[in-house]
Structure 1
Amino acid sequence: MKYEKIMQDLKAGIYHPVYLLHGAESFFIDSVTGYIENNALIEGERSFNQEILYGKETDFKTVVDNARQFPMMAERRVVIVREAQAMRTLKSLQSYIEKPSPQTVLVLAHKNKPLDKRTKFGKSVSKSAVILDSKKLYDNQVPAWISTYLRSQKLNIDPQASQLLTEYLGQDLSKIVNEIDKIKINLKVGEKITAKLVQDVVGISREYNVFELNKALSIWDYPKIMRIIYYFEENPKANPLVMVISNLFGYFTKVAITQQNIKASDAELAKKTGVNPFFVKDYRVAARTFSTTQIKQAFLSLHRADRHSKGLGMKSATPLGIMQQLIFEIQSV
């Protein structure tokens, strides 16, 4: 079942006996788990009817014993198993999941990796429980997700702002939502979230950030590229090298797609690259700035820079030296 459908049902008061929330994206798992924890019972019912267990510290017998108890002066019991992927006897819950207590809501929060649904246990859970496949979003899906998330809260964001949040925070939805919560505090009634507001609240330099680096690369503004790189060196906490390299992988991937589909319409290119149509013109410019050979070199150099940033093959390299070498290699082809 999709995350949106699960949340819609929960907000309508529809609860199921067993939920398996599994996958690499913790935000959706935490969101569903948190909603059930805070809303399935009223505050006065939780002391006697809600149990929070942890996979490393519990076993199937403890989970089943709690799930089989009758609610005390409440409509239901709630049993939540956090970090269920660490529960050694997880598969032993199969018989309970196949015939669960109708008066209990059991939540298995299986984070960081998906459960193998091809196994006997996986097949059984798939038939008997509500399943949330919590997958990481691709980079090009994040701006649209931000816009959808904000619309659900009756807020609007302009394309530059959602792109800036994505470029700065990557795929970490929990971090993105935390920053959005900060922005909301500073938002006036009816005000749209703009790039300027994001920069002011999140603490992103207006002139020196990954978004501006991409724009400088698109027209090969070498002096500005170097100014931004030096700024990153002086502000490593705000601009960690790993994040910058990851961003550049995404950037050159979009440039390569644009170059291969240069005759496509803006709408088609937006769909292929996963960017807002507003930014398509920037990638068209970049596709003309870089030759095919330079783009290939960029990927090779980025792979090397990624290794060097992790201390592989060039232990004494500094972030500034790695970025300077990267730019030099792209330019020199």
Structure 2
Amino acid sequence: MNEVKTIVANIKKGIIVPIYFLMGEEPYFIDIVSDYIEDHVLQEDQKGFDQIVLYGQDVSVPTIIDYARRFPMMSDHQVIIVKEAQNLKSTIDQLVPYVENPTPTTVLVFCYKYEKLDARKKLLKTLQKNKDCVLLESKKLYENQIATWLPDVLKKKHLSIQPKAIQMLVDFLGTDLSRIQNEVNKLALIVPENTEVTPDIIEKNIGISKEFNNYELKNAIAVHDMYKITRILKHFADNPKDNPLVMTLTVLYGYFQQLLGFHGLTDQSEKNVMATLKVPIFGIKDLRSGAQYYPMKRVSAIIATLREIDLKSKGLGATNNLTEADLRKELIIMLSAQ
């Protein structure tokens, strides 16, 4: 995240390099940098002459180099953005000679999404050595990092957010930053500036029930409140469209994996738990509580059962046609066992 801020800040100052190679599993940060370059390096009246967007599935590396060797017509730079550049993976090393000697008046941007360059590729080593290149590896954020990132995003829109509301969003949307950003954009259009986003606001405007959601399910599991667990899972069964089983399984699997890791820690201080397990500070309470109700051996058995239920939900390993309701009952049985 800090690297992205630095890249954007440098562009604002006019510090622009000939090559930006943006790669990695998280497309959100790649889009942030690429969109900023596309929107701000050239003036609007210059873009028609000196800015072009190419797509990896439609062009070859030699063609991209041909474009990059041209000179700008109406401005100091020409901007070339290659989207979906991962489609050039098999021939990407053909870019090496250009990276070794880039055209200084060209700003060439590669959006290499969902993966990173093979470490054995000569291109990666060449990019790393060249001071005229910015190489960004955009990594997926852990849950605790989203707890830091999301308030920053909202702050730019003059909003703040409560920790429980953050967890509701993460449990509902996962760690997909683009989806979270889309929901934040919707909220910014609806709620007044300087509003603190609460679970009530999330429930009203995003459609996540503040009482029946995966966050509350996780809280109930942490204190082994079987009445509440059963109520929530019954609500999920009655409203499967809003509460897909796959999301519930993902949240539960993540929680019990963290709990297994927590059991294995000698140092269970807040600082070490956050650093080792990538858990936000407000998630530690559920681990401490859960550790009292679910010893390590039981946690391992629950994880194994969750895997079985996941396979059954995909039609694998089931002896008959099980419905989602049947599988949710299995969850209740699994959690109620002592």
> Is the TM value for this pair above 0.5?
yes
- 1:125 aligned partner: 127
Amino acid at match of 1:108: F
Shift of 1:268: 4.2
Question: Which structure 1 residue ranges, 5 or more long, are not aligned?
Answer: none
- 2:321 aligned partner: 316
- 1:326 aligned partner: 331
Query: Is contact 1:229–1:320 with CA below 8 Å preserved after alignment?
Result: no
Query: Is contact 1:301–1:330 with CA below 8 Å preserved after alignment?
Result: no
Amino acid at match of 1:237: K
Q: Alpha-carbon deviations, 1:161-201, whole Å to 9, x = none?
A: 11111111111000011111111122322222222222222
Shift of 1:287: 1.6
Deviates more, 1:314-323 or 1:31-40: 314-323
Q: Alpha-carbon deviations, 1:83-136, whole Å to 9, x = none?
A: 111125322121111111111110111111111133222211222321010111
- 1:7 aligned partner: 8
Shift of 1:267: 4.5
Query: Is contact 1:117–1:126 with CA below 8 Å preserved after alignment?
Result: no
Q: Alpha-carbon deviations, 1:230-281, whole Å to 9, x = none?
A: 2223333332222211111121123334444597444444444433434433
Q: 2:95 aligns with which of 93, 108, 115?
A: 93
Deviates more, 1:269-278 or 1:220-229: 269-278
Is residue 219 of structure 2 the alignment partner of residue 215 of structure 1? Answer: yes
Deviates more, 1:152-161 or 1:134-143: 152-161
Identity in percent: 37
Q: Alpha-carbon deviations, 1:214-240, whole Å to 9, x = none?
A: 111122222322222222233333322
- 2:172 aligned partner: 168
**2:95 and 2:276 mapped to 1: Cα distance?**
43
TM-score by length of 2: 0.91
**2:266 and 2:93 mapped to 1: Cα distance?**
51
Q: Alpha-carbon deviations, 1:20-44, whole Å to 9, x = none?
A: 1111111111111111111111111
Deviates more, 1:119-128 or 1:259-268: 259-268
Amino acid at match of 1:223: Y
Is residue 34 of structure 2 the alignment partner of residue 33 of structure 1? Answer: yes
Shift of 1:311: 2.2
Query: Is contact 1:21–1:132 with CA below 8 Å preserved after alignment?
Result: yes
**1:293 and 1:246 mapped to 2: Cα distance?**
20
Matches within 5 A, 1:1-333: 2-87=3-88, 88-128=90-130, 129-151=133-155, 155-261=159-265, 264-314=268-318, 316-333=321-338
**1:162 and 1:192 mapped to 2: Cα distance?**
12
TM-score by length of 1: 0.92
Amino acid at match of 1:177: Q
**2:280 and 2:92 mapped to 1: Cα distance?**
43
Question: Which structure 2 residue ranges, 5 or more long, are not aligned?
Answer: none
**1:152 and 1:118 mapped to 2: Cα distance?**
40
